[in-house]
Amino acid sequence: MRGDLEWGSIPGLVRSAVARFPDAEAVVEGRTRVSYAELGARVERAAAACVANGAEPGDRVAIWAPNTLDWIVSSLGAVSAGAVLVPLNTRFKGTEAAYVLSRSRARLLFVTGTFLGTSYVASLRRAAGEGEGVGDGEGAGEGAGPLPGLPHLEQVVVLSDDAPADFRTWKDFLASGDGVDAEAVRARIAAIDGDDPSDIIFTSGTTGRPKGAVITHAQTLRAYAVWSELAGLGRGDRYLIVNPFFHTFGYKAGVIACLMRGATMIPQPVFNVDTVLANVASERISVLPGPPTLHQSLLDHPSRDSYDLSALRLVVTGAAVVPLQLVERLRTELGVGTVLTAYGLSEASGIVTMCRRGDEPNVIASTSGRAIPGTEVKVVNARGEAVAPGTPGEVLVHGFNVMGGYYEDAPATSEVLTPAGWLCTGDVGVLDEAGNLRITDRIKDMFIVGGFNAYPAEIEQLLGLHPDVADVAVIGIPDPRLGEVGKAYVVRRPGATTLTSDDLIAWSRREMANYKVPRVVEFVAELPRNASGKVVKGELRGR
């Protein structure tokens, strides 16, 4: 199915969903139940407010909030006004969020109030409320907004009924667009081309600074039309979206896929196994994608049998090795008819390979499936030559799903895109004779903490800001609960003999997202380095 031709753009998809499924439940949030017709009206009202507040086609609009109905409405509203969505990781601290806002030059930000006991507004104000620019010298430009450190950010809208005087509440923001003619919004929607960027997903890399992968409307629609077809998502499915909306797995394999198929979205802001079980039972959830840790905790819950989980029929997982036993237990103990695994990355629209319904359990457990239609995957050696099946090498991807580049970063783009348009993923993998891909290692040293990608270079850069740290290297080590966690090898500054591992871990919790915080710190006299001065991480892993 060529979704890019059928719907034209993501706002076109929203309007199509309203026309096809007007009375079907679109979103369930507690006692709030919103039909597709009502969702469409809310999205257009949010789009009108964006227009009223000066959002122009191509402007970046950011959102820093957990999975909620308001996230769906505000984000789709911004995109319907022609803006480019910049989702921020809810685990970010203020400085991390401010960097992405600065780097993208976002003009408008939707932000949650208090989430998990943290005031995001206060956190952002601490990071960007001073007069100095944030990030890569982004202080240039005339700023009329509430945060002097982010001169491009003209307005901050708090997704609640309460906001500081210099920010706006969600209710007031929506009301500000009531004077905008509906035809003006529809004209904005009609003007969006499939090749226009729909979002910029910031992903960290070996440089230690997040880079923004630019993805278009057409790429998103085509990729998740394929995902929906391969997964077998259908009208009447009830989809518990635990994967964060700031990630393609939550937003695109969740919200976008449901809009395509008329499924009901039940967003869950925080992963909590008791809440998952309660939601699956009470809302008759049929679709539950997520990392393997989610499904493992569901199966192992001591009170699992007291919940009716019989409606559950489809699980899609990935982001880590999936034990064969997990696939078999989902099928036998919970009666899940379809269990699939997939592999993707932000630079390739979030999806590269996927298993097919009917694949053998060992294929689903040991591989991430085959290249999706319209794409190619090859494994190459250090010289860039394709290797034989069964031979490990770097995974390269080519096709409609590959980004045009990183946002305003030609040097970083040239490092990962070949002149022929192949994306060098930095992942080591093996293809079998049938074309199934198995990811075996990560060239770029990335490790995965409970489903979240953690990048050593970024963590090292943050740890290096501690006044008592002279040198640091971070690696991933096995963890029985989270899969992997960070371990930091630290060289203290001369005279800083009182710095302990507990001190540094406590400091890290204040300065970086929780999944990035090293769980183990080992102090060393020096780090092992090769002749060119690079840290030999293989030696650290060998310890």
pLDDT digits (tens, 9 = 90+) for 364-391: 988 999 999 999 999 999 899 999 999 9
Q: Counting Cβ atoms within 10 Å, is residue 432 exposed (0-12), middle (13-18) or buried (19+)?
A: middle
Does residue 515 surpass a pLDDT of 90? Answer: yes
**Per-residue pLDDT at 339 exceeds 90:** yes
**Mean pLDDT over the full length of the chain:** 91
**Judging by beta carbons within 10 Å of its beta carbon (0-12, 13-18, 19+), is residue 131 exposed, middle or buried?**
exposed
Cα–Cα distance for residue pair 73/174, rounded to 1 Å = 11
Instruction: Give the per-residue pLDDT at 139.
Output: 43
Identify the band that residue 533 occupies on the pLDDT scale cut at 50, 70 and 90: low
Nearest by Cα to 100 from 88, 113, 85: 88
DSSP string, 459-508: HHHHHTTSTTEEEEEEEEEEETTTEEEEEEEEEEPTT-TT--HHHHHHHH
Residue 135: per-residue pLDDT:
62
Span 39-94, pLDDT tens digits: 999 999 999 999 999 999 999 999 999 999 999 999 999 999 999 999 999 988 89
Amino acid at 429: G
Convert the pLDDT of each residue in 164-185 to its tens digit: 888 999 999 999 999 999 999 9
* Residue 137 scores a pLDDT above 60: no
pLDDT value, residue 260: 98
Task: Quote the DSSP letter at residue 84.
Answer: E
Indicate whether 242 pLDDT > 70. Answer: yes
User: Do 360 and 344 contact (CB within 8 A), yes or no?
Assistant: no
Torsion of CA 266, 272, 277, 281, to 10 degrees: -30
Q: Is it the case that residue 411 has pLDDT exceeding 60?
A: yes
Share of the chain above pLDDT 90, in %: 74
Contacts of 254 (CB under 8 A, 6+ apart): 239, 241, 243, 245, 265, 289
> Residue 510, class by beta-carbon neighbours within 10 Å (0-12 exposed, 13-18 middle, 19+ buried)?
exposed
Asked if the model's pLDDT at residue 4 lies above 70, the reply is no
Buried b / exposed e along 219-253 (16+ C-beta atoms within 10 A): bbbbbbbbbbbbbbbeeebbbbbbbbbbbbbbbbb
Structural domains in the chain plus CATH codes: 10-15+28-192 (3.40.50.980), 271-442 (3.40.50.12780), 447-542 (3.30.300.30)
Q: What is the Cα–Cα distance from 382 to 378, expressed in whole angstroms?
A: 13
> What confidence tens digit (pLDDT) does each residue in 433-488 have?
999 998 876 676 778 899 887 878 778 878 988 989 988 999 999 998 898 999 99
The closest of 388, 382, 381 to 432, measured between CA atoms, is 388
Contact 425, 394 (CB under 8 A): yes
Q: How far does the chain reach from its first CA to its final CA, in angstroms?
A: 50
pLDDT at residue 18 greater than cutoff 70 = yes
pLDDT confidence of residue 534: 67
Distance, in Å, from the CA atom of 251 to the CA atom of 245, rounded to the nearest integer, reads: 4
Query: What is the reported pLDDT for 144?
Result: 63
The pair of three-digit structure tokens given for residue 307, joined into one six-digit string:
């919940």
Please give the average per-residue pLDDT across 187-215, as a whole number: 87
